[in-house]
Each structure stands twice: as C-alpha cells, then as structure tokens.
Amino acid sequence: MQDDPVIRVVAKVLIPAIMLFALYVQFHGDYGPGGGFQAGVILAAAFVLNAVVFGLHQARQVWPLRYNLIGVSAGVLLYGGTGVWSMLAGGNYLDYFALEADPKAAQHLGILLVEFGVGLTVAAVMVVLFFAFAGRASHIELVAKTTALEATTSKPGSKSSAKTRGGA
C-alpha cells in the first residue's frame, strides 16, 4: 500500500482536512453536534490513516509514544485541573460559575477547557491503542523472522540480524 501513488496523494490531501475538521468539531461542539469525544476520535483517525498509508515507523516519528503518553495524562489533568481551579476560585468542584464574573462566559470557559481535556485524552488514547495493536503485529512478525534467521545463521551472524530488527 505504501507504494501506491494514488493512495499516498489522496491521504496527503485528506489528512490535513481531517485534522481541521477535528478542530472544528472540538471547538464548535457548543453550537452544533460534536464535542471532545468525537473530535478526539477524528483527530486520531488522521494519525491512523497516516500510519496505515505511510507505515507504522514513520507514524511513530510523527507522534512518538512519549508525547502520546503526555497527551493521555494531560487531558485528564486538564479536566481535573479545571475542577480544582473552580474550587480555588471559591466554588464547588467543577462549578464553572466561579471561574468568571459573567455566568455565561464562565460556563463557556469551563466547558471549553473540559471538552479540550476530553478531546486530548481520547485522541491520544486511540493512537496509543492503534500503535499498541499494530506494533504487536509487526513485533510478532519480526520475532518470527529473526528466530528463523538465527536458526539458519551461526552465532556471529546474530549481530547483523539484530541490525535488521531495528531497521524494519
């Protein structure tokens, strides 16, 4: 699939559009259908499409696992942190009315932050899950290949087989 020019070009055109649509769904969720959950899944779909078309290795360079894990935790922290902020501002936990003087602006701010937290967590989790499953498949293939390789070659050859494992 990685060699098919039609799929590559179409994916390159589609991926930015999907990401932009995810942002629209994220920040327009107050007014139309959508919100954090949907936006997160759509954003993750862009990264999954990238991984499917251009290969898992390149997709992991675009969004490494380390940043993924930060995203997974940062979303939950942003959500919980909004609640703590409203407590510090003098209200109850997750009581957005305390955030600002104008009640409607306060609610808008609270909902925006909370939905962004949800979107961040959902997007990162979906990408993590996909990488975990897809990486599992390629990992098992690699193990099968290297055990077959190590079976055919003698002990000194195992060093070169380790190199092919890292490259694939």
Partner 1 sequence: MDMFAVNAFLIVLLSIIAFVALRVHRLFALVMLSGAFSLTAAAQFVVLDAVDVAFTEAAVGAGISTVLALATLTLLPREEKPHAIAPLPAIMAIATGMLLMLAVGDLPQFGDAEAPVHQHVAPDYIYGSEKKIGVPNIVTSVLASYRGYDTLGETVVIFTAAIAVLLILAGWTRTPRRRHDEDGEDDAG
Footprint of partner 1 (CB under 8 A): 25, 29-38, 41-42, 44-45, 48, 52, 57, 60, 64-66, 69, 72-73, 75-76, 79-80, 83, 94, 96, 103-104, 107-108, 110-111, 114-115, 117-118, 121-122, 124-126, 128-140, 142, 162-163, 165-166
Measured from the CB of residue 104, what is the shortest distance to partner 1 in angstroms?
4
List the Cα angle 73/31/91 in 5-degree steps: 55
Question: In the complex, what is the shortest distance from the CB of residue 130 to partner 1, in angstroms, rounded to a whole number?
Answer: 6
Nearer to partner 1, 17 or 132 (CB): 132
Query: HSE on the CB side for 62, CA within 13 Å?
Result: 17
- Three-class SS string for 58-86? HHHHHCCHHHHHHHHHHHHHHHHHHHHHH
